[in-house]
A and B are shown apart, each in its own frame.
Chain A
């Protein structure tokens, strides 16, 4: 009898492509929502990204009842409470989160409060605490990397206690994710690069870590192929609408993959580095990916070798001996990082980032060791191992 077992779940309706935003009014009204609220941040609003969302709703006679545009990069319980109060005051019945990871996580957390009632968000923290479906919730991502539009997790800071509260429930999944290339076309090059490497890392870890499964594998490999093909094109021509759409879809596919297979040591290190040195998540992913793959190499040689097909295409794959494909996959990722460094100075090492000091490595290692993602890394890593990976990532 096979010992293999897996679970896979993604009920999010993905609405993707040109003029995807114009589907929002129909999709909202089809599930009975008539008074939507937009949750976003100032950067998104200043970039004019809300305009097409508002216009499309107005065209269809659907009023956006209110807009909260002050979500900070690290959202907190007090911000969530403020938005929930506004939602109730304006008698809203649905939320459209427009933005990156923080706006989306905030939208998820607000939806918990306004659906479940009360003001105590902390009591819903943890896994499986929410037992009922929440109010209609739509997500319009404005970066192509986090995959938050298809994940069942939100992280909100409790500023009084100084801790990050995780929320995990399938009820946090949005009703719909709207992927429209207009929302990412103005992303600056270094953010395009870092977020695409975030999606790449989600996919590579989904494909090589312990909870990989046939369905997450399919999404992960498709996402890797799209990032490999279209990131260079978009970096050369940022106004490439088709390329932007491909990257946005890759991000969503990578999100579906990793939320059903989990991630590993790259994320454990990235979470710790983000918390201690305040480096952006996508950049951390790009920094650590090759060094962690080198550490995991002998444990993941076979799946990592398979990825060469999606990273470099069939010619390179077939010309590379099977015994060298895993190393060639790592080399392909290193080449990708080198190109991005030349194009937008995306750092390749901790030292190059200029934001991390050598003295901080010990604290990063200690924190990474207690990160939940490390449980799914295919190779066991103790403090010495994690420190060794950090030493490699320090100066390359």
Chain B
């Protein structure tokens, strides 16, 4: 008797969405580290070669970035070249979907035990601040306010728009380069 059951369409769509979002956020983290001084300063405290992963348990979609030094990140498309230093693991696809579709703030997801941290907690706090900073740049203010604990009151619209444009341009360029290379 066949035991494999069909996945509902909604689940497939969520899986695809989460997969795409991880690819976008991974590339955007590399981009924001090249664009924003605040992110660069935060990242500078991480050891060079530091590998950060976000993924869906047990072996679902994920993103992997490396701190290559001087506050800059590099997005890795393939498997980790060595053991990962910090991993934030969503317990289920649904939990990743809630966060990546901005229905649940990252901080609330931590409070709700949606994710496990494997690695140094202080680095996880730092990476959460970096992710929050990225989100306030790349998301419309109304959406960003749902994604982060506090929208920075000192972030003016021109700075937000210029930074967002630069990040999206870098992400798009990275996608094109990836497509050409494969």
Interface size on B, residues (CB 8 A): 20
Query: A126–B125 Cα gap in the complex (Å)?
Result: 15
Q: How far is the CB of A290 from chain B (nearest CB, A)?
A: 22
Q: How far is the CA of A128 from the CA of B87 in the complex (A)?
A: 13
B125 touches A262 (CB 8 A): no
Residue of B nearest to A6 (CB): B112
- Report the stretch among A26-34, A170-178, A240-248, A367-375 that lies at the interface: A367-375
Q: Which single member of B112, B149, B150 contacts A5 (CB below 8 Å)? A: B112
Confirm or deny: A211 has a beta carbon within 8 angstroms of a beta carbon on chain B.
yes
Tell me the nearest residue of chain B to A7, going by C-beta.
Answer: B113
**Number of residues of chain A lying within 8 A (CB) of chain B:** 21
Q: DSSP class of A's interface residues: helix, strand, loop or mixed? A: loop
Residue B108 CB within 8 A of the other chain: yes
Is A380 an interface residue, CB under 8 A from the partner?
Answer: yes
- Against A, the Cβ 8 Å flags (1 = close, 0 = not) of B116-156 are 11110110111010000000000000000000111000000
Number of residue pairs A-B, CB distance < 8 angstroms: 46
The complex places the Cα of A211 from the Cα of B105 at a distance, in Å, of: 13
Q: Tell me, yes or no, whether B175 is within 8 Å of chain A by CB.
A: no
- Say whether, besides A127-B117, A370-B126, A375 and B110 are in contact (CB < 8 Å): yes
Chain A 190-225, CB-CB to B under 8 Å as 1, else 0, gives 000000000000000000011100000000000000
Note all chain B residues with C-beta closer than 8 A to A81.
none
Q: Which residue of B lies closest to A211 (CB)?
A: B111
Complex: chain A residue closest to B106, CB-CB: A375
B21 to chain A, nearest CB (A): 20
Q: Does A321 lie at the interface of the complex (its beta carbon under 8 Å from any beta carbon of B)?
A: no
Question: B149–A379 contact, CB under 8 A?
Answer: yes
| B101 close to A (CB within 8 Å) | no
Q: Is the CB of A127 within 8 A of B111?
A: no
Q: Which residues of A contact B113 (CB under 8 A)?
A: 7, 211
Q: Which 5 A-B pairs have the closest CB atoms?
A: A380-B150, A370-B122, A211-B111, A372-B121, A210-B111
